C-alpha cells in the first residue's frame, strides 16, 4: 500500500464530529496564544529596558531573578523575539494573526471564504509595518528603541541593506509602493469608488406636447349634459408559460455500507481515481443520479462518484434542496429503475 493510500485510510477514520473537535481545540489554542502574545508584546513596550539584562543571563530561570514583563519570563522571551528581534511595534500583527486564525477555526461558516485573505493580510501587514517603521525611525531619532528601532531588527536589517544598495529616496519610494500595493490587494474598494449620479426627471409627454402642462376639463354638477368618458378596458394579462420539464429531480442520500467508509471516485468507473473516503452514515446531495454510479456532493463539500448500491436515496422538493448547488443538478443519462430510491 502506497503512502498516499495509507494516509487516505487514516483520514477516513476521522468523521465530521472528530474533525470539528480538532478544529475547535486548535481554534481555542490560537486564541489563547493571541491573548498571551498581546499581553507579552504590549508589556514589552514599557519594560524592555528594565528586562534587557535577562536577554543574555544564563541564570534567568533562577527564582530570585525577577522579570518585569506582565507575561513573566516567558512573556519577556516572546516579546523580545517578536518586538526586538523581529517586527518592533508591528509585532501586534502577530497577535492579530492568531486571533483571526482562531476565530476562523471556531466559526468557519462566517469567515471560511475570506480566511486565507485575512491570514495572508495580517502577516503581510506585520512585515510591511516593520519595514515602514524601520524607515521612519531615523527621522524621529528612535533608532535605538527596542535595540534596533521602532521596526525591530528585521525591518532595520532590510532597511539598512536597501539604503546601502539603492539610496534612501528609492528605498522610501519602494516602501511606499509596497504599502500601496498591499492596500490595493486587500482593500480594492478604495481604488474603485463609483460616482453615483441621480437622473433628473425629464418633462412628461402628456399628449399635448412634451413639457406642456396638462389641462383637464372641469364640468359643472348642474350641467345636465355632463360628459363622462368611458374607462378603457384593461388588457387581459398574457398567461404565463408553463415551466419546461427538464427531467431534473432532487435527491438526498446517506451512506449505507457494511465497512467504515465508501470510496469517492473522480469518474463513474471501478478504475476511477479515488478522491476520498466518505465515512459510513455520512449525508449529502445527489448531483446526477444513475443506476450504477451516482454523482454526489457531501455535506462537507466533497464531490465525486459513488456506487449507487451503497446509497439510501430520498427524493425531496426543490425548496428542501440547497439553493447554492441547485443549478449543479443534472438529469440522468439513463432511465432510472423503479427501485432507485430503494437502494441500500
Domains and CATH numbers, the chain: 16-189 (no CATH), 250-342 (2.30.30.40)
What are 248's three cell numbers?
Answer: 431534473
Instruction: Check: CB of residue 153 under 8 Å from CB of residue 85.
Output: yes
Q: Rounded distance, CA 309 to CA 343, Å?
A: 5
Specify the pLDDT at position 344. Answer: 46
Stated as kind and residue range, the H or E segment containing 99 is helix 92-106
> Reduced to 3 DSSP states, what percent helix, strand and coil does the chain have, rounded to the nearest 5?
50, 10, 40
Nearest-CA neighbor of 157 among 170, 148, 166?
148
> CA-to-CA distance for 101 and 315, rounded, in angstroms?
39
Residue 219 has pLDDT above 60, yes or no: no
Task: List Cα–Cα distances, 9 to 12, 15, 262, 272, in angstroms.
Answer: 5, 12, 11, 17
Read off the pLDDT band of 196 (50, 70, 90): very low
**pLDDT tens digits for range 325-341:** 888 899 888 888 876 76
Per-residue model confidence (pLDDT) at position 35 = 94
Question: Which residues does 250 contact at the CB level (< 8 Å), separation at least 6?
Answer: 285, 286, 315, 316, 317, 318, 320, 321, 326, 329
Question: Residue 103: CB partners within 8 Å, gap ≥ 6?
Answer: 27, 31, 111
Question: Of 85, 82, 109, 110, which is closest to residue 97 (Cα–Cα)?
Answer: 82
Burial 309-326 (b: 16+ CB within 10 A, else e): ebbebeeeeeeebeeeee
The single-letter DSSP state of residue 206 is -
Phi and psi at residue 296, to the nearest 5°:
-130, 165
Q: Is the separation of the CB atoms in 150 and 136 below 8 Å?
A: yes
CA atoms within 13 A on the CB side of 291: 7
At residue 245, the pLDDT reads: 60
Lowest mean pLDDT across 135-139, 203-207, 234-238: 203-207
- pLDDT tens digits, one per residue of 44-60: 888 888 877 777 777 77
Positive/negative CA dihedral, 333, 338, 339, 341: positive
- At 59-78, the pLDDT tens digits run 777 887 888 888 888 888 88
Which strands sit side by side in the sheet containing 283-288, from one edge to the other? 274-279, 261-265, 303-307, 293-298, 283-288, 250-255, 311-316
For 264, phi then psi, to 5°, come to: -110, 115
Lowest mean pLDDT: which of 52-66, 217-231, 254-268, 284-298? 217-231
Predicted confidence (pLDDT) at residue 324 exceeds the cutoff of 80: yes
- Better-scored residue on pLDDT, 78 or 208: 78
Q: Is the pLDDT of residue 289 over 80?
A: yes
**Using the 8-state DSSP alphabet, how is residue 150 labeled?**
T
Query: Across-strand partners of 274?
Result: 265
294 - beta bridge partners?
306
**R_g of the chain, CA atoms, integer Å:** 34
Whether 306 has a pLDDT exceeding 50, the answer reads yes
Query: What is the band of 197 on the pLDDT scale with cuts at 50, 70, 90?
Result: very low
Q: Is residue 219 a contact partner of residue 226, using CB atoms and an 8 Å limit?
A: yes
Amino acid at each position: 500500500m502506497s503512502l498516499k493510500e495509507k494516509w487516505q485510510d487514516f483520514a477516513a477514520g476521522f468523521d465530521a464530529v472528530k474533525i470539528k473537535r480538532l478544529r475547535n481545540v486548535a481554534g481555542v489554542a490560537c486564541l489563547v496564544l493571541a491573548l498571551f502574545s498581546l499581553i507579552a508584546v504590549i508589556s514589552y513596550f514599557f519594560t524592555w529596558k528594565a528586562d534587557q539584562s535577562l536577554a543574555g543571563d544564563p541564570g534567568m530561570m533562577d527564582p530570585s531573578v525577577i522579570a518585569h514583563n506582565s507575561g513573566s519570563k516567558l512573556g519577556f522571551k516572546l516579546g523580545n523575539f517578536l518586538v526586538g528581534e523581529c517586527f518592533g511595534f508591528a509585532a501586534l500583527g502577530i497577535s492579530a494573526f492568531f486571533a483571526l486564525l482562531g476565530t476562523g477555526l471556531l466559526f468557519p461558516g462566517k469567515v471560511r471564504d475570506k480566511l486565507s485573505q485575512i491570514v495572508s493580510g495580517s502577516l503581510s501587514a506585520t512585515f510591511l509595518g516593520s519595514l515602514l517603521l524601520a524607515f521612519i525611525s531615523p527621522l524621529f531619532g528612535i533608532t535605538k528603541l527596542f535595540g534596533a528601532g521602532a521596526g525591530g531588527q528585521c525591518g532595520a536589517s532590510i532597511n539598512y541593506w536597501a539604503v546601502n544598495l539603492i539610496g534612501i529616496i528609492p528605498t522610501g519610494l519602494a516602501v511606499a509602493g509596497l504599502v500601496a500595493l498591499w492596500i490595493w490587494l486587500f482593500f480594492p474598494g478604495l481604488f474603485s469608488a463609483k460616482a453615483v449620479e441621480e437622473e433628473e426627471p425629464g418633462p412628461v409627454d402628456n399628449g399635448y406636447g412634451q413639457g406642456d402642462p396638462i389641462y383637464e376639463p372641469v364640468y359643472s354638477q348642474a350641467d345636465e349634459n355632463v360628459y363622462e368618458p368611458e374607462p378603457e378596458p384593461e388588457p387581459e394579462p398574457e398567461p404565463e408559460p408553463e415551466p419546461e420539464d427538464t427531467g431534473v429531480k432532487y435527491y438526498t442520500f446517506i451512506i449505507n455500507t457494511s465497512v467504515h467508509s465508501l470510496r469517492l471516485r473522480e469518474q463513474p468507473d471501478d478504475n476511477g481515481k479515488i478522491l476520498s473516503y466518505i465515512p459510513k452514515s455520512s449525508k449529502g446531495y445527489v448531483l446526477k443520479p444513475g443506476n450504477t454510479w451516482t454523482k454526489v456532493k457531501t455535506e462537507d463539500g466533497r464531490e465525486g462518484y459513488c456506487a449507487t448500491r451503497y446509497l439510501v436515496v430520498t427524493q425531496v422538493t426543490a425548496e428542501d434542496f440547497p439553493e447554492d448547488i441547485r443549478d449543479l443538478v443534472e438529469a440522468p443519462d439513463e432511465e432510472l429503475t423503479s427501485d432507485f430510491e430503494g437502494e441500500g
